[in-house]
Structure 1
Amino acid sequence: MARAPRDRPHFHFEGGGQAEPYTSPRLVISRLPPDRVRVGHAQKLERAIGSAVVEARRKLAARDEAIAEGERGFYLEFEIPAAERAAVENLENKPAAIELVAVRPITDGNETVAATVFVPERSAEFFSRKIAAYRDEDTKSGKPKNEALVARIEDVRLAAVRSLFTDDMALLPKAGYPAWWEVWIRGGRLETFRYVAERLDIALKDHAISFPERDVVLALATEETMERLVENSDAVAELRIAKDTPTLFLEMRPAEQADWVEDLIDRVEAPDAVAPAVCILDSGANRAHPLLEPGLEAADQHAYDDAWGVGDSAFWNGHGTAMAGVALYGDIEAALRHAEPVGLRHRLETVKILPPAGQHDPELYGAITETGITKAEARAPRRRRVFCLAVTSEVGLARGRPSSWSAAVDQLCYGGGDRRRLMVVAAGNLRGDIEVDGYPDRNDLEEVESPAQAWNPLVVGAYTDKITITHPDYAGWNPVAPAGDLSPASRTSGIWERQWPIRPDVVFEGGNFAHDGVNAASAIDDLQLITTHYRPQMRHFETFGDTSAAAALGANLAAGVIAARPELWPETVRGLLVHSAEWTQAMRERFDAAASQAQKMAMLRRYGWGVPDLGRALWSATDDATLMVEDALLPFRRDGSVIKTRNMNLHRLPWPRDELLALGDQDVELRMTLSYFVEPNPGERGWTRRHRYASHSLRFAVKRSLESIQQFRQRINKAAKAEEAGQVGGGAGGDDWVLGPIRDRGSIHSDIWRGSAAALADRDAIGVFPVSGWWKEKPGLQRWDRSARYSLLVSVRAPGANIDIYTPIANQLAVPIPAG
């Protein structure tokens, strides 16, 4: 049966959620501390901490007052059993000004986690007193005093630079050799750091990135000099190796010169003055290309460093110009082959963030990205735009943990809470030869590149439908990827730790590779996209692919949504791309073969939610109606000195109940997508409850058909309790959802419920509720009273039912129904 045409606009709601008082139970660590021989354990720790404090006081007495700045103090490194890692939070003490600054990631085979705290000199005896009380005093219940903390400490020592180093130790610079360090500075101490660094002749990069509790700068120093800086200041929280040196390895084979480019130019209709833009953060672009000139004004080209110029360069293989062609036209080949007019609904902006002659020193690319975005916005402050970033770095990846660059991207998207931005970021490509035997296992083992571990942007991977090889030079060659499957160079988040976001969110066409059965695969012209060449005086077109091309296609589609619905929030546009995505047949077969939730998650981390579609993103049909809700809630409130959860929103949407009941047992679908942005608070401190990365998290739940509203509320509270206890998605399982518990990673959640129309008829309430984040756990940062806005997308689908579910919704809303 033919599907009904998509010719009806989605329903759009602003607000409408009924705020209800809501409190999720506060998490209490119920695990008992390890059994200890009380006196013996106390004596061991007393000896260790006594030696550490004696040595710390010796070093404090030797501080160079010509260099020193900030509060006198020292760092202690504690060893905690890996199974008890949540206990690192108890090492902090605000009245004593003791701060947890760094927690080194647990490595394979390591049974302990190393946590480092800064201790002011005035609090030097704090832990000694805690240990003595554990040894000698009991609580009213007869337990050793301070047992919850002291019994979980394996050992303690005076910390060194290496204690603050949270990257892989293999990246630690060799002694005596200067290196660029990424220095994470404690809140409010940036000027202290700069003061001491200047007196130690430590070279600093000019720019810095600022987060709620950390500032990040780049410093050139040896390990020994960095040790002196740490000993003579209270500024350093964490050290990493500077690694934002982006690399782009693209096999851009030349396409045959097209003779009919002028025909296409004659059919192009330039965008109007208020059209939105795709802003490409890359290597610049050559506006002289005749296909780019209609959509790219000279005034809309910028560079991070004005001395670089705005044009593209051979050093980067014209990558920015190639991005521009796809971002502006999408599939250029289709535009060339058809005779219809090509109306450009959006324009281009370019910001050159890559230097024209390569990059030798690392840079703080979070700051460079921010500067580039600021320049584009200063030129046209009211223009709606989507930023597109396909520049990525493979150095120092850490299974999904944030980098300074990814955190800066999240901060730019969040925009301080009042200036949200939509960004599309490429997932990154495999490096080196593509071997047929390694596909797709290698893709699952090589993780998404920085900054694509960010939570807020739309992260795009690549799939491919290109399998047809016609060029005679490649007779007998075969494509690597089957139609509809992952593009051979696309990275995934298959090896990431479970709490980090699903990456990619979606996939777009990225071309395919081919092989002759003997040698490594190649990205041949037949299996790639066509785009604009950066030297149009030589040739107009070249081939393009991988996740760069996919990201440009994603930005193109996002701009199409903005052009059609300019009133929508960035969160909503991002949500619509995910909501409109579907898995291809090849992807669905792999999902269907998944026998467990873990196997489903592996597929989700490979393909995301599938391939978006502009028609589905913008238009409903009579048998497929989409409701777009933009709303906000106040997730937290202050109760004395404690921050508690405050409100959930209950949405009672116009529901085609009678029409669904009439369908009885016929199968229908409910698609739900929740999209919101978080405020990041990065820094390697174990990512425990108090040190969560995200400001807040939201979840959705749908009332079940035999469930009362009161039972629904109780289930939501149970789900929140499970989340607080570390059971991600603990309350969302079962009940005919395709993904269930595994959907709740990151800041966009999407799932499909399948069942009978009669059962869906009574699923007429949706709850959006908060779970904890650092806004709640860190009251001193004064974010607890912030509003959290979100977009909720709901689609009711009755494919093949030959029934109109759109009109009943429209009648309840009293909105005009488009003529058929």
Structure 2
Amino acid sequence: MPPDHQFEHLPLVFKHHGPARLTGGGSDADLTKEFRRNRKSHSTTLLSSLTAASDAWRKTQVARREQDAPEVEAGIPLVLQVDTSLDLDDLRRQFAFEVVAEEEDGYVIVASEDVDLALFRQKVKDFAGGGTGSGNIAKVHELLDSDTQEDRLRRVLSERLFAEWPEMQDDALYICDVGIACTGNWAAPNPFKPRAHWKAETNQRHEEKNRAEVQAAYDRWDELREDRRAEVKRITDHYGAEVLGEYEKAVPVPDSFTLRVRIAARGLKDLVLSYPYVFEVTEPDEIETPQQQARDLEDQLAEIEFQAPAPDAPVVCVIDSGIQEEHRWLAAAVDGSVSKSFLPAPDADSVADHVAGGGHGTRVAGAVLYGRTIPKSGVVPLEARLQNARVLNGRCEMPREMFPPEVLEQVVEHFHRVGNTRLFNQSVNADSPCRTTHMSAWAAEIDRLSHENDILVVQSTGNLKTDRPAPRPGVAQLLETGRPYPDYLDQPACRLANPAQSLQAMTVGSVAIETLEQDGWRSIATASGAPSAFGRSGPGIWGVIKPEVVEQGGDFLVSDGAPPAVATPDVGANCYTELVRSTRNGGPAHARDCVGTSFAAPQVARIAARLQAVLPEEPCLLYRALIAQSARWPAWANGLSPAEQAALLRRIGYGIPDLDRATTNTDQRVTLITSGKTKLEAGGCHIYQVPVPERLRRPGEDHQIRIDVTLSYSTATRRTRRKHAYQATWLDWVTNRRDELLEPFVERAIKREAEYANQGRETFNWTVHPQVQYGLSGANRSAGTLQKDWAYINSYNLPRDFCIAVRGHQGWNTSPDSSAAYTLAVTFEATGGELSVYEEVRAEVLELIVQAEQEVEISD
């Protein structure tokens, strides 16, 4: 008798919601304790530093007036080193400082409207005598003062600009992205919550007062933002600068805005040194292009017929160099009616792919449709539609007058807000490693757009060149310096490229297809599924696991010569990705002649499109979760040491995703999912239950079960903050122990008046692990917004119920209404292929759902 199902994903059963029992919070640093013991000494040091900083600032302003520089009515910038356990909002509440930017290692850039720093000065004096309300002075470890503002410049400027700063010629022109903070030194009051014992009119009066106070705070932020725009414009206009673009989050209270300006060095220096709210200055990213190899081959016609996708088929927007829309392998899928070029003249009217040697966007579009293998004959039904957003010119470059976050917002506006496109592939990166202090404007825009619009951006990690001098060495130079493959991929120069560090992007790296040694050439990768020689690696910003997944993007070959050459010669064709290629300038319609992470990413976008076809009403957060959930390391990785596996996690993330595993189940595999976006507030906890059938737990049975759990969430962000403080609310997940029942786990996970009985000692052997001291060295499961882990367990050791708690934590937003939206996926798979899992779990889940519905009816 056939089953009464299609092996669809099963629902996760929600069991409890309550306040999370959270531990930790950070203890005071040893230096803080030392300063509490020696208050007078610490106060004397701080008073000396703040007096020196205030005096230096006054002298600077006098000198500016003598030089006829534009008037700046802003205040004084300061660099503080603070205890990392300090709530940065205390700097605002207690000292009236505006937090301009949170930096690494406990450093914070702040600004004070009062150049004399009277309030802070008084608190420092009070601390010496043990005065009330001055205790946090002990957590202000140092105030860095300098006539040249070197400590501030070191943190505000990019590495290159900081190195060039002393030698900049006044009239030299620079194009820079300048970030301006606008958080202010106030906060909106928390929403009013009615009191049960108050009269209705009293509650209403307080609620109206609260709304007025909240609105007043928002009005102040609007005014502050416009004032700072005007102040910056006054400075840039004075020096004849040109504003090329502007990025600002379209949220009620943006914490910053970023300007791309063309400005003389004299003006740039004055802007940075005199305007205290500048928190970041970087040069525009150069867009990297993958290694291109033109082939003089004739186009071979195939006996093939393409069936156009259904009108309601999923849509993938390709953000790239344009598409050869009339290409035989693409034409039936391209929606040319909405194609758009976002380039300035003379490319504004052309959406074609003008990149020589076979194109770039055309290749990417083909990979979205066909994945690893291009069909050669027969009837080919197309499952997705393609949209064409041209942002790169014929040199595969984005002109500098185009500001990437602004362009991305325009792309989403055109394709999503008008046509409701939800899937975007962006195989476009900077050609250098991303910075790790603050989220870039480009990456932050991906985070914002993803959170607000329920879209998924599939993003490549970027590539290393075959040959390039330091400080951004190519693969040849890395090998010449004695760094063997794959260890050189862990060098900072090989870190993933902007905007691949975005928390919400599905970041995709590349792995090798196969190995080869022939005619004096050999592949650099040592195994199929090993990291590609050119693939940039993680971790991402703040230790986030990036890339999350990888696909086959090919590999470089190295010659036997001395010195060895690194290239993609014809002999290595089987090591290169098979791709559709543009025929505008001749050549074949498809070939194995190009490699790059650019062509790994669209293979993952293809899986996302299939997920949208299978689960059209579900959020993109779930597509992202299921892609990661389906990913696996190559089989050879199981034999690696823990240190080698930790390195592999940095290079290929969770592994290679699988379309079938992401979209369906088998008799030996079952995946359970939440439906829709579930919101969880900071301090809250949601608990889910997966019943484990007795037959799977039967003593004497010895089957290996792999358990995968993936949490995917999004929340509002602030670019001036770092790590978890970048997010309004951040989430993590924990599970019950192997010998812990549901109710004891609920007591342990949810905060209640009674102390819980600490039952259960046998934990799951998670690979990454929620605690950094366990699991793979250096890996931090909860650092990002896509959190996956997996464990192997003998079937007879499975618990009666497998339980997961999703927990909310406070980020930058202190409002009790702050929340994050999430999806969750859990998979059980019998790795030996002998144990029936799906039918057994499905029966138990359906029974549990009925019980839950009956419990609701009784409670009602």
Same fold per TM (> 0.5)? Answer: yes
Matched AA of 1:163: R
Per-residue CA distance 1:240-259 (angstroms, 9 max, x = gap): 22232212142334274352
Provide the C-alpha distance between the structure 2 equivalents of 1:148 and 1:196, rounded to a whole number of angstroms: 37
For the pair 1:466 / 2:465, whether they are aligned, the reply is no
Aligned partners of 2:739 and 2:799 also within 8 Å: no
- Is 2:684 aligned against 1:647? yes
Return the letter of the residue paired with 2:284: K
Q: Distance in 2 between matches of 1:201 and 1:733?
A: 68
Q: Deviations over 1:616-639 (max 9, x none)?
A: 111111121111113655544xxx
Alignment partner of 2:258 out of 204, 208, 216:
216
Match of residue 371, structure 1, among 392, 407, 410: 410
CA distance in 1, matches of 2:710, 2:385: 29
- Cα drift, residue 19 of structure 1: 1.4
Q: 2:288–2:463: 8 Å Cα contact kept in structure 1?
A: no
Deviation at 1:758, TM superposition (A): 3.0
**Cα deviations by residue, 1:768-813 (Å, 9 ceiling, x for unpaired):** 112332234xx4xxxx414422221111222336343322333345
Q: Deviations over 1:395-436 (max 9, x none)?
A: 463347521211111112112xxx211111001111233346
Q: CA deviation at 1:315?
A: 5.8
Partner of 2:318: 280
Distance verdict in 2 for CA 1:666–1:320, change over 3 Å: closer
Corresponding residue number in structure 2 for 1:738: 767
> For residues 545 and 490 of structure 1, what CA distance do their matches in structure 2 show?
10
Instruction: Tell me the matched-pair count.
Output: 746
Q: In the TM superposition, what is the alpha-carbon distance from 1:157 to its structure 2 partner?
A: 4.6
SS at match of 1:371: helix
The AA in structure 2 aligned to 1:544 is C
Distance 1:409 1:52, change over 3 A: same
Q: Is the 8 A contact 2:78 2:144 kept in 1?
A: no
How far is 1:169 from its partner? 4.1
Check if 1:804 corresponds to 2:811.
Answer: no
* Residue number in structure 1 paired with 2:800: 762
1:345-424 equivalences under 5 Å are 345-356=383-394, 358-359=397-398, 361=400, 363-381=402-420, 383=421, 385-395=422-432, 397-399=434-436, 401-415=438-452, 419-424=453-458
Asked if the contact 1:281–1:350 (Cα under 8 Å) also holds between the matched residues in 2, the reply is: yes
**Structure 1 pair 703/133, CA: closer, same or farther in 2 (3 Å)?**
same
Shift of 1:502: 0.9
Q: Structure 1 residues 283 and 144 mapped into 2: Cα distance closer, same or farther (>3 Å)?
A: closer
Instruction: For residue 330 of structure 1, report the CA deviation from its aligned partner.
Output: 1.8
Matching residue of 2:301: 260
Unaligned 5+ runs, structure 2 = 183-224, 468-474, 752-759, 771-778, 848-860
1:10 aligns with 2:60: no
Counterpart-to-counterpart distance in 2, 1:99 and 1:765:
43
Is 1:480 matched with 2:524? yes
- CA, structure 1 residues 68+400, in 2 after alignment: closer, same or farther (shift >3 Å)? closer
Q: 1:91 to 1:444 in 2, by over 3 A?
A: same
Shift of 1:62: 7.4
CA distance in 1, matches of 2:748, 2:606: 40
- For the pair 1:426 / 2:460, whether they are aligned, the reply is yes
CA contact (8 A) 1:634 1:647 kept: no
What is the distance in 2 between the residues matched to 1:255 and 1:791?
Answer: 49
Describe the superposition over 1:119-140 as per-residue Cα deviations: whole angstroms up to 9, x where unpaired: 11277312221222233x1258
Post-superposition shift, 1:748?
1.1
Per mean C-alpha deviation after superposition, the further-off stretch among 124-133 and 452-461 is 124-133
Q: Residues of 2 paired with 1:420 and 1:515: CA distance?
A: 43
Indicate how the Cα distance of structure 1 residues 91 and 157 shifts in structure 2: closer, same or farther if over 3 A, else same.
farther
**Distance in 2 between residues matched to 1:657 and 1:370, nearest whole Å:** 52
Q: Structure 1 residue 500 and structure 2 residue 543: aligned?
A: yes
2:175 matched to 1:180? yes
Contact 1:91 1:100 (8 Å CA) reproduced: no
Q: 2:259 and 2:158 mapped to 1: Cα distance?
A: 19
- Deviations along 1:425-455, one digit per CA (max 9) or x if unpaired, are 0011112333467321222221111100111
Q: Aligned partners of 1:133 and 1:377: how far apart in 2?
A: 56
Aligned equivalents of 2:293 and 2:415: distance in 1?
Answer: 28
Q: Which residue of 1 aligns with 2:185?
A: none
Matched, 1:251 2:292: yes
Q: State the partner residue of 1:727.
A: none
State the 1:98 CA deviation.
1.3
Distance 1:145 1:530 in 2: 64
Partner of 2:28: 30
**2:5, 2:512 → 1: CA distance?**
28
- The whole-number CA distance in structure 2 between the counterparts of 1:365 and 1:297 is 24
2:78 — aligned with what? 76
Query: 2-side partners of 1:708 and 1:812: how far apart?
Result: 16
SS at match of 2:18: strand
Work out whether residues 289 and 536 of structure 1, in 8 Å CA contact, stay in contact via their aligned partners in 2. no
Identify the residue that residue 47 of structure 1 maps to in structure 2.
48
Distance, in Å, in 2 between the alignment partners of 1:90 and 1:814 is: 48
Alignment of 1:133-148 (within 5 A): 133-135=126-128, 137-139=129-131, 147-148=137-138
CA contact (8 A) 1:98 1:117 kept: yes
Q: Aligned residue for 1:514?
A: 557
Q: Residues 680 and 694 of structure 1 are in contact (CA less than 8 Å); yes or no, is this contact kept in structure 2?
A: yes
1:203 Cα deviation from its structure 2 partner: 1.4
Q: What's the C-alpha RMSD, in Å, of the aligned pairs?
A: 3.5
| Counterpart amino acid of residue 805 in structure 1 | V
Instruction: Flag the 1:738–1:195 CA change in 2: closer, same or farther, 3 A.
Output: same
Q: Mapping of 1:286-685 within 5 angstroms?
A: 286-305=324-343, 307=345, 308=347, 309-314=350-355, 318-333=359-374, 335-336=375-376, 339-356=377-394, 358-359=397-398, 361=400, 363-381=402-420, 383=421, 385-395=422-432, 397-399=434-436, 401-415=438-452, 419-433=453-467, 434-435=475-476, 438-445=484-491, 446-467=494-515, 475-481=519-525, 482-493=527-538, 499-518=542-561, 519-524=564-569, 525-536=573-584, 538-539=586-587, 540-542=589-591, 543-589=593-639, 592-594=640-642, 596=643, 599-630=644-675, 634-636=679-681, 645-661=682-698, 664-683=701-720
